[in-house]
Protein backbone atom coordinates (compact mmCIF):
# COMPACT_ATOMS: atom_id res chain seq x y z
CA UNK A 1 0.00 0.00 0.00
CA UNK A 2 1.14 3.59 -0.63
CA UNK A 3 2.79 5.19 2.41
CA UNK A 4 2.75 8.96 2.87
CA UNK A 5 5.18 10.60 5.31
CA UNK A 6 4.24 13.98 6.73
CA UNK A 7 1.57 15.83 8.69
CA UNK A 8 -1.67 17.32 7.37
CA UNK A 9 -0.79 20.78 8.68
CA UNK A 10 1.91 21.16 6.01
CA UNK A 11 0.81 23.01 2.85
CA UNK A 12 2.95 20.61 0.81
CA UNK A 13 1.61 17.43 2.41
CA UNK A 14 -1.92 18.78 1.85
CA UNK A 15 -1.30 18.76 -1.93
CA UNK A 16 -0.52 15.04 -1.83
CA UNK A 17 -3.48 14.31 0.46
CA UNK A 18 -5.70 16.08 -2.07
CA UNK A 19 -4.39 13.99 -4.97
CA UNK A 20 -4.72 10.72 -3.03
CA UNK A 21 -8.30 11.68 -2.08
CA UNK A 22 -9.37 12.65 -5.62
CA UNK A 23 -7.86 9.47 -7.03
CA UNK A 24 -9.43 7.45 -4.22
CA UNK A 25 -6.12 5.71 -3.52
CA UNK A 26 -5.83 3.87 -0.19
CA UNK A 27 -2.69 4.78 1.73
CA UNK A 28 -1.03 4.54 5.11
CA UNK A 29 -0.33 7.95 6.64
CA UNK A 30 2.93 7.91 8.61
CA UNK A 31 2.95 10.96 10.89
CA UNK A 32 6.35 12.55 10.24
CA UNK A 33 6.98 15.99 11.74
CA UNK A 34 9.12 18.54 9.86
CA UNK A 35 12.33 19.85 11.46
CA UNK A 36 12.65 16.63 13.51
CA UNK A 37 16.10 15.75 12.04
CA UNK A 38 15.11 12.15 12.70
CA UNK A 39 18.04 9.95 11.44
CA UNK A 40 15.69 7.23 10.15
CA UNK A 41 13.66 9.78 8.17
CA UNK A 42 16.82 11.42 6.78
CA UNK A 43 17.53 8.06 5.09
CA UNK A 44 14.17 8.45 3.29
CA UNK A 45 14.50 12.16 2.53
CA UNK A 46 18.03 13.60 2.87
CA UNK A 47 16.54 17.12 3.16
CA UNK A 48 14.43 16.06 6.15
CA UNK A 49 11.43 17.76 4.56
CA UNK A 50 7.87 16.51 4.26
CA UNK A 51 6.20 15.01 2.26
CA UNK A 52 7.82 11.79 1.06
CA UNK A 53 5.93 8.90 -0.47
CA UNK A 54 6.60 5.21 -0.96
CA UNK A 55 4.68 3.15 -3.51
CA UNK A 56 6.17 -0.36 -3.62
CA UNK A 57 9.75 0.07 -4.82
CA UNK A 58 9.23 3.74 -5.69
CA UNK A 59 10.39 6.18 -3.00
CA UNK A 60 9.90 9.87 -3.79
CA UNK A 61 10.44 13.24 -2.13
CA UNK A 62 8.95 16.67 -2.94
CA UNK A 63 5.23 17.32 -3.28
CA UNK A 64 5.35 18.31 -6.95
CA UNK A 65 7.36 15.23 -7.94
CA UNK A 66 5.03 13.03 -5.88
CA UNK A 67 1.84 14.54 -7.35
CA UNK A 68 3.12 14.22 -10.91
CA UNK A 69 4.07 10.60 -10.21
CA UNK A 70 0.59 9.86 -8.85
CA UNK A 71 -0.99 11.48 -11.91
CA UNK A 72 1.17 9.40 -14.27
CA UNK A 73 0.86 6.15 -12.33
CA UNK A 74 -2.87 6.50 -11.55
CA UNK A 75 -4.37 8.58 -14.38
CA UNK A 76 -7.99 7.97 -13.42
CA UNK A 77 -9.56 11.11 -11.87
CA UNK A 78 -6.95 13.57 -13.22
CA UNK A 79 -5.72 16.43 -11.04
CA UNK A 80 -3.98 18.38 -13.82
CA UNK A 81 -5.65 19.80 -16.96
CA UNK A 82 -5.41 17.35 -19.85
CA UNK A 83 -4.43 19.88 -22.56
CA UNK A 84 -0.76 20.81 -22.91
CA UNK A 85 -1.05 24.62 -22.41
CA UNK A 86 -3.39 24.10 -19.45
CA UNK A 87 -1.07 21.57 -17.85
CA UNK A 88 1.92 23.90 -18.30
CA UNK A 89 0.03 26.82 -16.73
CA UNK A 90 -1.10 24.58 -13.86
CA UNK A 91 2.55 23.63 -13.25
CA UNK A 92 3.58 27.29 -13.22
CA UNK A 93 0.91 28.22 -10.68
CA UNK A 94 1.80 25.18 -8.56
CA UNK A 95 5.48 26.18 -8.73
CA UNK A 96 4.69 29.79 -7.78
CA UNK A 97 2.47 28.62 -4.92
CA UNK A 98 5.18 26.29 -3.60
CA UNK A 99 7.95 28.87 -3.82
CA UNK A 100 7.36 32.62 -3.32
CA UNK A 101 3.70 32.39 -2.20
CA UNK A 102 4.62 29.80 0.44
CA UNK A 103 7.68 31.80 1.49
CA UNK A 104 5.36 34.75 2.18
CA UNK A 105 2.00 33.33 3.32
CA UNK A 106 3.36 30.26 5.09
CA UNK A 107 6.18 32.53 6.32
CA UNK A 108 3.62 34.28 8.52
CA UNK A 109 2.56 30.86 9.81
CA UNK A 110 6.18 29.85 10.38
CA UNK A 111 6.93 32.98 12.40
CA UNK A 112 3.71 33.14 14.41
CA UNK A 113 2.97 29.43 14.88
CA UNK A 114 5.95 27.14 14.24
CA UNK A 115 8.59 29.31 15.93
CA UNK A 116 6.82 29.86 19.26
CA UNK A 117 4.86 26.58 19.45
CA UNK A 118 7.22 24.03 17.91
CA UNK A 119 10.72 25.51 17.78
CA UNK A 120 10.43 27.45 21.07
CA UNK A 121 11.80 30.61 19.44
CA UNK A 122 10.54 34.19 19.39
CA UNK A 123 8.69 35.24 16.20
CA UNK A 124 10.44 37.85 14.04
CA UNK A 125 7.77 40.60 14.19
CA UNK A 126 9.71 42.93 11.86
CA UNK A 127 9.74 40.21 9.20
CA UNK A 128 6.01 39.53 9.67
CA UNK A 129 5.27 43.26 9.22
CA UNK A 130 7.41 43.37 6.07
CA UNK A 131 5.69 40.30 4.60
CA UNK A 132 2.15 41.57 5.31
CA UNK A 133 2.63 45.20 4.29
CA UNK A 134 5.34 45.12 1.62
CA UNK A 135 5.97 41.71 0.11
CA UNK A 136 2.60 40.01 0.01
CA UNK A 137 0.45 42.78 -1.58
CA UNK A 138 2.13 42.71 -5.03
CA UNK A 139 1.86 38.92 -5.05
CA UNK A 140 -1.83 39.14 -4.13
CA UNK A 141 -2.29 41.69 -6.95
CA UNK A 142 -0.85 39.11 -9.35
CA UNK A 143 -3.01 36.28 -7.95
CA UNK A 144 -6.07 38.52 -8.19
CA UNK A 145 -5.35 38.82 -11.93
CA UNK A 146 -4.86 35.07 -12.41
CA UNK A 147 -7.86 33.43 -10.77
CA UNK A 148 -11.38 33.42 -12.23
CA UNK A 149 -14.43 35.17 -10.76
CA UNK A 150 -16.37 31.91 -11.03
CA UNK A 151 -15.47 28.22 -10.94
CA UNK A 152 -11.85 27.11 -10.78
CA UNK A 153 -8.63 27.87 -12.65
CA UNK A 154 -9.40 25.39 -15.41
CA UNK A 155 -13.20 25.44 -15.49
CA UNK A 156 -15.71 23.56 -13.40
CA UNK A 157 -13.38 20.84 -12.13
CA UNK A 158 -11.02 21.54 -9.27
CA UNK A 159 -7.35 20.75 -9.95
CA UNK A 160 -4.17 20.53 -7.93
CA UNK A 161 -3.24 24.08 -9.02
CA UNK A 162 -6.34 25.45 -7.26
CA UNK A 163 -5.46 23.65 -4.03
CA UNK A 164 -1.78 24.63 -4.31
CA UNK A 165 -2.69 28.33 -4.41
CA UNK A 166 -5.04 28.03 -1.44
CA UNK A 167 -2.83 25.87 0.75
CA UNK A 168 -0.24 28.43 2.01
CA UNK A 169 -3.04 30.82 2.95
CA UNK A 170 -4.70 28.10 5.04
CA UNK A 171 -1.52 28.04 7.12
CA UNK A 172 -1.40 31.82 7.30
CA UNK A 173 -4.97 31.56 8.64
CA UNK A 174 -3.78 29.28 11.45
CA UNK A 175 -1.56 32.20 12.45
CA UNK A 176 -4.47 34.66 12.39
CA UNK A 177 -3.84 36.19 8.95
CA UNK A 178 -6.68 36.68 6.44
CA UNK A 179 -6.42 38.15 2.92
CA UNK A 180 -8.36 41.44 2.83
CA UNK A 181 -11.55 40.78 0.81
CA UNK A 182 -12.08 44.49 0.08
CA UNK A 183 -8.66 44.70 -1.63
CA UNK A 184 -8.49 41.26 -3.28
CA UNK A 185 -12.17 40.20 -3.68
CA UNK A 186 -11.64 37.86 -6.63
CA UNK A 187 -8.86 35.90 -4.97
CA UNK A 188 -10.74 35.69 -1.65
CA UNK A 189 -13.89 34.47 -3.47
CA UNK A 190 -11.80 31.91 -5.36
CA UNK A 191 -10.24 30.60 -2.13
CA UNK A 192 -13.69 30.27 -0.55
CA UNK A 193 -14.91 28.18 -3.50
CA UNK A 194 -11.84 25.91 -3.33
CA UNK A 195 -12.26 25.52 0.45
CA UNK A 196 -15.92 24.56 0.10
CA UNK A 197 -15.33 21.73 -2.37
CA UNK A 198 -16.20 18.56 -0.36
CA UNK A 199 -12.83 16.84 -0.83
CA UNK A 200 -10.96 20.01 0.23
CA UNK A 201 -13.37 20.79 3.08
CA UNK A 202 -12.76 17.31 4.50
CA UNK A 203 -8.97 17.69 4.26
CA UNK A 204 -9.06 21.11 5.87
CA UNK A 205 -11.20 19.83 8.73
CA UNK A 206 -8.64 17.06 9.38
CA UNK A 207 -5.77 19.52 9.11
CA UNK A 208 -7.44 22.01 11.49
CA UNK A 209 -8.10 19.24 14.02
CA UNK A 210 -4.46 18.14 13.82
CA UNK A 211 -3.35 21.76 14.38
CA UNK A 212 -5.67 22.21 17.35
CA UNK A 213 -7.72 24.75 15.36
CA UNK A 214 -10.98 22.84 15.07
Judged by beta carbon, residue 44 or residue 188, the one nearer ligand GSH is 44
Decide: 188 and 179 in contact? Cβ < 8 Å: yes
Exposure b/e, 93-115, CB count within 10 A at least 16 = b: bbebbbebbbebbbbbbbbbbbe
> Phi and psi of 206, rounded to 5°?
-65, -40
Q: Rule CB under 6 A: is residue 69 a binding residue for ligand GSH?
A: no
Of 62-70, 87-95, 137-145, 191-199, the segment contacting ligand GSH by CB under 6 A is 62-70
> What is the spatial distance between Cα 82 and Cα 175, in angstroms, rounded to a whole number?
36
Q: Does 112 bind ligand GSH (CB under 6 A)?
A: no
Q: Does 203 bind ligand GSH (CB under 6 A)?
A: no
- Cα–Cα distance measured from residue 169 to residue 98, given in angstroms and rounded to the nearest whole number: 11
Site string for ligand GSH, 2-41 (x = CB under 6 A): --------xxx---------------------xx------
184: nearest Cα among 157, 134, 149: 149
Minimum CB separation of residue 112 from ligand GSH in Å reads: 15
Total interface residues for ligand GSH by CB under 6 A: 13
Q: Which of 23, 48, 124, 213 binds ligand GSH (CB under 6 A)?
A: 48
Pairing outcome for strands 52-55 and 2-6: antiparallel
Q: Does 98 bind ligand GSH (CB under 6 A)?
A: yes
**Helix (H) / strand (E) containing 76:** none
Please state the closest distance from residue 102 (CB atom) to ligand GSH, in A. Answer: 8
Q: Does 213 bind ligand GSH (CB under 6 A)?
A: no
Whole-angstrom Cα distance, residue 67 to residue 160? 9
Stretch that binds ligand GSH, among 42-50, 69-77, 149-157, 194-202 (CB under 6 A): 42-50
Which residues of this chain interact with ligand GSH, rule CB under 6 A?
10-12, 34-35, 48-51, 62-64, 98
Amino acid sequence: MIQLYGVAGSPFVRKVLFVLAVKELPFEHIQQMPFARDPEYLKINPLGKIPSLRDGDVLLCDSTVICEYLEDAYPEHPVYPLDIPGKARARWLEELAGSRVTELAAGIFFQRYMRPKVLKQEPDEALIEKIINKQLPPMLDYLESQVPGEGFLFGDNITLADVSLLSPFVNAGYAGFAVDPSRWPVFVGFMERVKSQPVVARLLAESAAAMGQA
